[in-house]
Amino acid sequence: MIGVGTILKIKRYLTIIIVLLITLLVSLISNGTQEIQKANYELFTVDRIKEGYHLFTNKDENFIVNTYISKLSFEENEEIDIFSTLEYIGKKKSVQIWSVGHSYFNHNIFDGSINYHKNIVLTILTTTRLIKGETYILPFIKEGSYTDDPKDEFWKKYYTEKELKLPSGNYTFTASTGFSLDEDLKEHVNLENKFKVSVQ
């Protein structure tokens, strides 16, 4: 006859085994998801290039920045599809970059008087490691805020909508790096893609 102590030990071992199996399963699913996401990103980029997206590029000895936009002339309130990619092409296997705030890359839109993309500037110093040969997808994400002033009704709608839509006008789009190669932020990397977009 099995004693109570033995039964408790068996239950404890079974619990440990179940926890380990769950941890292993979650890890495998997570790794699989990351691989799927990476593959989707690559497919996503290739598909967009095939669809005839305009490409703007800039590089130095360590990095290459590509910016893709669906077209350069839009109708008013038509969705503007834009994203960038960043790749480390230097001599090391990876590189550590430093930036102030949560983003090391910026997309800006300017019509000559109004900045339609107001970057949120944080004073927190953050670091990111880029792996050589990996392409990092940098989608356009709206940043900024609006007040309850009735004059800000446009901005309320602008920031509420996920899609990028602009009123008629001529705009300068800028996609640029916002990081340094050192913690003191002295070795700043300046790579920028700038181009004109019209909205009728």
List, run by run, the mean pLDDT of 10-residue segments along the chain (200 residues). Answer: 61 62 46 41 51 90 95 95 94 94 85 77 79 90 71 82 93 95 93 97
Rounded CA separation 161/151 (Å)? 18
Q: What's the pTM value of the predicted model, to 2 decimals?
A: 0.72
Q: What is the DSSP string of 7-18?
A: HHHHHHHHHHHH
